[in-house]
Structure 1
Amino acid sequence: MAYQAFRVDGGPTLYDSNKTPFKADLVESGLAFCIVILAFSFYIVLPGFPGKEKLYTFVRVSVSLFIGVVILVTNFSQDWEVAEISTETQYKAGARKGIHADIGVHIGLRGINITLKGEPEQQLNETINYNEHFSWEWGQGRIGFGPFAARINREFRAAQFRGLPYPILWIAEYFTFDGEGIRWGRFYRTAGWYSHIMLWLAFTTWLMANILFFVLLRYGAYLLMITGGCMVVANILFATIRNPNVLVIPFTTDAKLEFVYGWGFVLCLITGILAILIGFIIFVMTLCAHNAAVTFFGADPLEDLDEEIEIDDTRRDEPVPEPSRNGGAVEAERRVRSVQFDTEDDDEGPLDNAIDMSQYDDRPRYVKRRSGLLSKGFLKSRRQPRRPPPKIPEQEPELYENLGFPREEMEMMDRHHRDVEVNFQE
């Protein structure tokens, strides 16, 4: 007896069909699932970051992933324009009785979704719960319903052969007209085409911004502002191209489908403006609070300091005065006594009163400057090679001869002086 369930006249088990309506968009669900996996992966490793870096990483990852998921979801969303009514309508052609149902239309960048749900679902011995999608991506095609017609026209003709309910066909037919100023399908397709291009551009700039935030912070801010600008431009294109004539689909005198902007349009607009503001704030921080910005993003503090440039020292243009015979002798004697005094006290101490080499120094001086060239920031080495120790001027032995000391003693003091200078430079 336990094995007699669902069997009729001893035949095999037969289960009735269980047709369920399409309740979610697979593309949107897949994109959201991917972003959730990425966010979960980043959040798992957060405890490994020290101190405040946990909070910084959490904010960076959350904001960046939010902007990325909004770009992708709104690109494939079916809710840039929506309209819903609840009314009495004819169910199918030839049916004597009508039905009471909720009718909804969801317009996206790539097509429309039409929903029909009975209230209650069981009416006329049927389950009334439909969700049909009609796509127009991307060619316009020929006029009519033949094999070379627009995609939405061919799908509409296929829906007629399938015998879909009358309200669904009535709505879809409005988007197949293409003449006499009634071209809602053409205008919506064109608006979706240009808007989806701008959203893909925003996605690429978002990826580049995430990379540059770890390389050149200022350029990352630039690209984040460009990302927000592309999203706002996508909204502007859709709003201006979509429909020069207002689309209203009547069912009864009081029940009319009147379209308004959906959550996809609003979310894309708000996120675009938010991305522009965040990028501008980061740019201002790089100028006014550079240390705080690089600490928050964990970037290189020298990221904006590209190279060292060589400038002329004004002292190099001044001629070096040649000492006279008497003055040179007095000056040389003073320097030699200073060297003797320093070496007697401490052989390794700094020579505060030793020879001033600045007037004989021919080395170029270097200063730091900020550069706006991105390529130099990547390719130019930030560390300069170690400079060799300065050379002792050739005039000094001639000055020593004026003191009247033996030549050998002068050469010994000169060698000692060179060794001390080299140790001091090292």
Structure 2
Amino acid sequence: MAAFGHTFPFYAGPKPTFPMDTTLAIIITIFLIALVTFIVILPGIRGKMRLFWLLRVVTSLFIGAVILAVNFSSQWSVGQVSTNTSYKAFSSEWISADVGLQVGLGGVNITLTGTPVQQLNETINYNEEFTWRLGENYAEEYAKALEKGLPDPVLYLAEKFTPGSPCGLHRQYRLAGHYTSATMWVAFLCWLLANVMLSMPVLVYGGHMLLATGIFQLLALIFFSTATSLTPPCPLHLGTAVLHTHHGSAFWITLTTGLLCVLLGLSVAVTHRMQPHRLKAFFNLSSDANPMLEWSPEEGGLLSPRYRSMAESPEPQDIPLSEASSEACRKEGHRREPVCAL
């Protein structure tokens, strides 16, 4: 190509991009549909329980959506810089562009946007993803990017995360993503169990599961921070500037949600110990639903059957018999005496 038209290696054309990650869009859409469904049936709830019920639903859906969405987010470690850098290989042409790097639990996302977008008679707007999830080969994806002829800044950042790079970023972030993702999935299961238990007369155990949900989220943050700090930072030089990374929005929103779950779990446990009746009223659960069963706060709110003593049992009632039945009982009194006595 360079011999015939003096054209350097090029990318066939920018792929059409969606304003946000499609996986995150699907997750957010599902939880929004669930929220709208609950709001539609809200008028059927009477009194102040309507507000309590709406508060529980919104809080629970928010926690579940965050736990699930951050697993697929690329905003765990981010960085962006405006620089003047080379655009294509074997070319002396430079461009002015914004270069962005987003590192998630399953890979990296690299963006290149020209300032302005139209430079060198081209539209400079790239958004490329390189993954290391199970079943994905990062080295093969990088080789395909070389074959496509992606711009130099994209290839430069992608090369830093290859398994053979001396920076060691691949092993560092892949290890962090593996353990962080596994811990977040455990937190998601704890959230599911918490919802089930809070809808039953076992509120204290639902609070415990909320507490476990928050603890596992905080553990995931510890794993990510520890694993990403195992090796010294690798300088990322892009033209005349250096790209620095820091914790992204997914990290901070996970921290906020984890602290919220811990606070809610402790609140449920303390309220159950101090004022269990108000806690049951908040969750629309009443201990008067079955007078033969009582809930014991010491046993965590489980149904504890307590049998009545003879003194507490109601007096037996005498049921009058008809004349025909009384006559039959008198005739067979010597054989069915105990039955007639009843």
Query: TM-score scaled by structure 1?
Result: 0.66
C-alpha distance after superposition, 1:101-129 (max 9, x if no partner): 11000000000000001111111111110
Aligned to 2:26: 30
Aligned to 1:246: 233
Contact 1:77 1:108 in 2 (8 A): yes
Report 1:344-423 matches (<5 A): 370-372=297-299, 377=302, 381=305, 387=313
1:155 counterpart = 2:155: no
SS in 2 for 1:225: helix
Structure 1 position 81, deviation (Å): 0.5
Task: Give the residue type in structure 2 aligned to 1:372.
Answer: E
1:97 counterpart = 2:84: no
Contact 2:75 2:103 in 1 (8 A): yes
- Judged with a 3 Å threshold, the aligned counterparts in structure 2 of structure 1 residues 76 and 289 are, in CA distance, closer, same or farther, namely same
1:173 counterpart = 2:159: yes
Task: Give the residue type in structure 2 aligned to 1:219.
Answer: Y
Task: Give the residue type in structure 1 aligned to 2:109.
Answer: N
Report 1:180-199 matches (<5 A): 182-199=167-184
Rounded to whole Å, the distance in 1 between the matches of 2:266 and 2:159 is 46
- Judged with a 3 Å threshold, the aligned counterparts in structure 2 of structure 1 residues 100 and 169 are, in CA distance, closer, same or farther, namely same
SS in 2 for 1:24: coil
Contact 1:111 1:137 in 2 (8 A): yes
Task: Give the residue type in structure 1 aligned to 2:47.
Answer: G
Structure 1 position 243, deviation (Å): 3.6
Rounded to whole Å, the distance in 2 between the matches of 1:242 and 1:275 is 25
Rounded to whole Å, the distance in 2 between the matches of 1:167 and 1:179 is 16
RMSD after superposition: 2.7
Aligned to 2:245: 259
Rounded to whole Å, the distance in 2 between the matches of 1:120 and 1:385 is 86
Task: Give the residue type in structure 2 aligned to 1:125.
Answer: N
Aligned equivalent of 2:269, options 278, 283, 296: 283
Contact 1:213 1:299 in 2 (8 A): no
Aligned to 1:274: 260
Aligned to 2:221: 235
- Judged with a 3 Å threshold, the aligned counterparts in structure 2 of structure 1 residues 388 and 81 are, in CA distance, closer, same or farther, namely same
Rounded to whole Å, the distance in 2 between the matches of 1:36 and 1:72 is 14
1:136 counterpart = 2:132: yes
Stretches of structure 2 lacking an aligned partner (at least 5 in a row) = 1-12, 317-340
Contact 2:273 2:297 in 1 (8 A): no
Runs of 4+ in 1 over 4 A off after TM superposition: 305-308, 368-371, 380-390
1:75 counterpart = 2:71: yes
Aligned to 1:208: 193
SS in 2 for 1:92: coil
C-alpha distance after superposition, 1:109-168 (max 9, x if no partner): 0000000011111111111100000001137xxxxxxxxxx7111100110001111100
Structure 1 position 20, deviation (Å): 2.8
Aligned equivalent of 1:107, options 81, 103, 108: 103
C-alpha distance after superposition, 1:58-107 (max 9, x if no partner): 10001101100110111111000100001111111022311111100000
Rounded to whole Å, the distance in 2 between the matches of 1:249 and 1:302 is 66
C-alpha distance after superposition, 1:338-363 (max 9, x if no partner): xxxxxxxxxxxxxxxxxxxxxxxxxx
Contact 2:87 2:151 in 1 (8 A): yes
Aligned equivalent of 2:150, options 164, 175, 192: 164
Aligned to 1:412: none
Choose 1 or 2 for highest CA Rg.
1
Rounded to whole Å, the distance in 2 between the matches of 1:82 and 1:201 is 25
Task: Give the residue type in structure 1 aligned to 2:130.
Answer: F
Rounded to whole Å, the distance in 2 between the matches of 1:373 and 1:109 is 37
Contact 1:89 1:98 in 2 (8 A): yes
Aligned to 1:47: 43
Structure 1 position 372, deviation (Å): 3.3
Contact 1:117 1:130 in 2 (8 A): yes
- Judged with a 3 Å threshold, the aligned counterparts in structure 2 of structure 1 residues 292 and 388 are, in CA distance, closer, same or farther, namely closer
Rounded to whole Å, the distance in 2 between the matches of 1:192 and 1:177 is 15
Identical columns (%) = 37
Aligned equivalent of 2:211, options 225, 233, 253: 225
- Judged with a 3 Å threshold, the aligned counterparts in structure 2 of structure 1 residues 162 and 72 are, in CA distance, closer, same or farther, namely same
Query: TM-score scaled by structure 2?
Result: 0.81
- Judged with a 3 Å threshold, the aligned counterparts in structure 2 of structure 1 residues 249 and 183 are, in CA distance, closer, same or farther, namely same
Contact 2:217 2:255 in 1 (8 A): yes
**Which is bigger in relative contact order (C-alpha 8 A, separation at least 6)?**
2
Rounded to whole Å, the distance in 1 between the matches of 2:54 and 2:218 is 26
Rounded to whole Å, the distance in 1 between the matches of 2:93 and 2:49 is 67
Aligned to 2:284: 298
Rounded to whole Å, the distance in 1 between the matches of 2:97 and 2:115 is 5
